[in-house]
């Protein structure tokens, strides 16, 4: 069994490379079911993290997890990133935080589950973190049910307005977000 | 299988709490990560990429501008596989880097080394059916940073990789063999195990060199983490 390649931080200068135009527009253009999922990323002193990268992954509204290609669509003539075709639902979002630590994705409600999966990358973070933004505080959810009330609360997005969900990420501190770990490959 | 915490992170990966890397101080969780062993987890599937996601010249960072970039032209190739050694096919590999002088084409990089009008330092490609990727670029320079007195990053390429599952996502850095800065770099040294650190260092590969064009370097990448088949194949003991 090959041993895994270690993780290293994304560093401060990914910004001209990884984010792409409309990386947060996961929902097809103008889709009436579009929801906004947004929030801030904070460090252990409650300061906003202006150089985090948030990736989101989720099933389509029909529950499909197949992943349609085309998230990062490129112009073949210029090589420029176009960012999706406005039609297909790829399930993948990628946004950098702003100078105030804010991020936002516009997507469709996930089918079959009540959460959107998030990966968090940042300068200072040697290995990215996984968490989930639950759009509904699902009573029967095994993960939510395994957490204490405070931990559970960190995973449930707050409905701010119709179709708008707020999900802040605290990398450290009293309100530290619950982060997830998946089993690793065969030893 | 043993459960790991935010601090331990298993022997292969760096701990998120690594005081010599100062920026990690306020940006790592202090509570243990919550292990998730759900065969239905959405994270066991992942995004897909295809022909529309890359343009023909994306994998050649030396041809994105009218002129030739400064520096030593290199070919960097390897395979992306999972922990079972199975090729990761048709998935996205992204690369970004400083130019030959050690300067990023990023407004916040204030290192007073010259920008190169013929080099941006960003590339991408899809792995082929054997999991292989290949880039043509230039060897980046070392650059200083503010972590400690005389902090210089060894020359490195930043890589971003997707496996077949979101849980296999990897962002890492590739280093060049024999760099005298290795012992002083807290980011490389955050990986505590020497053999694991060595897996971040490419190998000069004479057969990959392109005559009168570029020097060849091989770097294979192994993605950690489960995929959709993980729980069906008896790994989830
Ligand atoms: Fe760097």
Sequence-separated (6 or more) residues with CB below 8 Å from residue A32: none
CA A155 vs CA A66, B97, B117: distances in Å: 25, 34, 45
CB contact, 8 Å: A15 with chain B?
yes
Tens of pLDDT along A18-34? Answer: 999 999 999 999 999 99
Catalytic pick among B28, B86, B89, B158: B158
Select the more confidently predicted residue: A142 or A184.
A142
Tens of pLDDT along B33-76? Answer: 999 999 999 999 999 999 999 998 999 999 999 999 999 999 99
Q: How confident is the model at residue A186 (pLDDT cuts 50, 70, 90)?
A: low
Give B146 to chain A, closest Cα distance, Å: 12
On chain A, the residues whose CB falls within 8 A of the CB of B171 are: 7-10, 121, 128
Q: Provide the pLDDT for residue A78.
A: 87
Q: Provide the pLDDT for residue B235.
A: 57
Is B133 an active-site residue? no
Residue indicated by tokens 């490195």: B156
Distance B121 CA to ligand 1 centre (A): 11
On chain B, the residues whose CB falls within 8 A of the CB of A146 are: 34
- Of B12, B56, B46, the residue nearest B196 (C-alpha): B12
Q: Name the residue of chain B whose CA is nearest to A65's CA.
A: B45
A 17-56 near B (Cβ less than 8 A): 17-18, 43-45, 47, 49, 55
Q: Provide the pLDDT for residue B236.
A: 52
- Of A86, A91, A87, the residue nearest A21 (C-alpha): A86
Give B214 to chain A, closest Cα distance, Å: 23
Q: Provide the pLDDT for residue B7.
A: 39
ipTM: 0.97
Tokens of A52: 């985090």
On chain A, the residues whose CB falls within 8 A of the CB of B43 are: 57, 117, 130, 180, 182
Give B55 to chain A, closest Cα distance, Å: 5
Given a cut of 80, whether residue A101 has pLDDT beyond it is yes
- Of B43, B2, B27, the residue nearest B231 (C-alpha): B43
Phi and psi (nearest 5°) for B234? Answer: 85, 10
Q: Provide the pLDDT for residue B225.
A: 92
CB contact, 8 Å: B185 with chain A?
no
Q: What's the rounded mean pLDDT across residues A36-48?
A: 98
- Mutation target for A interface from B23, B30, B107, B141: give the one with most A CBs within 10 A: B23
Q: Provide the pLDDT for residue A120.
A: 98
Q: Provide the pLDDT for residue B30.
A: 98
Q: What's the rounded mean pLDDT across residues A32-61?
A: 98
Yes or no, beta carbons of A181 and B188 under 8 Å apart: no
C-alpha span between A131 and A152 (Å, rounded): 12
Q: What's the rounded mean pLDDT across residues A135-144?
A: 95
Q: Provide the pLDDT for residue B234.
A: 59
Distance A45 CA to ligand 1 centre (A): 25
Give the mean pLDDT per block of 10 residues along chain B (237 residues).
40 95 98 95 97 94 96 98 96 98 95 97 97 98 96 98 97 98 98 97 97 97 88 61
Q: How confident is the model at residue A187 (pLDDT cuts 50, 70, 90)?
A: very low
Given a cut of 80, whether residue A149 has pLDDT beyond it is yes
C-alpha span between A41 and A35 (Å, rounded): 20
């Amino acid at each position: 069994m090959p041993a895994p390649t270690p993780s290293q931080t994304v560093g401060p200068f990914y910004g001209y490379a990884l984010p792409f135009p409309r990386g947060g527009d996961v929902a097809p253009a103008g889709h009436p079911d579009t929801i906004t999922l947004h929030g801030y990323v904070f460090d252990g002193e409650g300061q906003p993290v202006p150089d985090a990268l948030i990736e989101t992954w989720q099933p389509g509204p029909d529950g499909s997890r197949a992943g349609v290609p085309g998230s990062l669509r490129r112009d073949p003539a210029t090589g420029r990133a176009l960012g999706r075709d406005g039609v297909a639902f790829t399930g993948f979002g990628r946004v950098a935080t702003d100078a105030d630590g804010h991020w936002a994705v516009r997507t469709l409600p996930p089918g079959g589950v009540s959460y959107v999966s998030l990966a968090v990358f940042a300068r200072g973070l040697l290995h990215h973190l996984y968490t989930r933004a639950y759009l509904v505080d699902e009573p029967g959810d095994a993960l939510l049910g395994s957490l204490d009330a405070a931990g559970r609360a960190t995973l449930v997005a707050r409905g701010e307005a119709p179709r708008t969900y707020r999900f802040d990420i605290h990398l450290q501190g009293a309100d530290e977000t619950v982060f997830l770990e998946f089993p690793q490959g065969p030893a | 299988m043993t459960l790991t915490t935010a601090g331990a992170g298993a022997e292969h990966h760096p701990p998120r709490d690594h005081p010599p890397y100062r920026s990690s101080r306020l940006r790592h969780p202090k509570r243990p990560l919550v292990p998730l062993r759900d065969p239905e987890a959405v994270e066991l599937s992942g995004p897909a990429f295809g022909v529309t996601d890359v343009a023909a010249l994306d994998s050649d960072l030396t041809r994105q501008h009218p002129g030739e970039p400064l520096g030593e032209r290199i070919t960097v190739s390897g395979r992306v596989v999972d922990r079972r050694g199975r090729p990761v096919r048709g998935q996205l590999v992204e690369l970004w880097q400083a130019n030959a002088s050690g300067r990023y084409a990023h407004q916040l990089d204030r290192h007073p080394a010259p920008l190169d009008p013929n080099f941006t330092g960003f590339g991408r490609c899809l792995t082929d059916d054997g999991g292989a990727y290949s880039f043509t670029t230039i060897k980046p320079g070392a650059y200083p940073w503010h972590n400690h007195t005389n902090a210089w990053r060894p020359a490195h390429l930043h890589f971003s990789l997707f496996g077949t599952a979101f849980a296999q996502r990897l962002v890492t850095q590739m280093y060049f063999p024999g760099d005298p800065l290795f012992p002083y770099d807290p980011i490389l040294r955050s990986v505590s195990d020497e053999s694991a650190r060595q897996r971040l260092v490419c190998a000069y590969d004479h057969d990959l060199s392109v005559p009168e064009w570029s020097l060849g370097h091989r770097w294979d990448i192994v993605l950690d983490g489960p995929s959709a088949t993980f729980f069906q194949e008896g790994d989830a003991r």
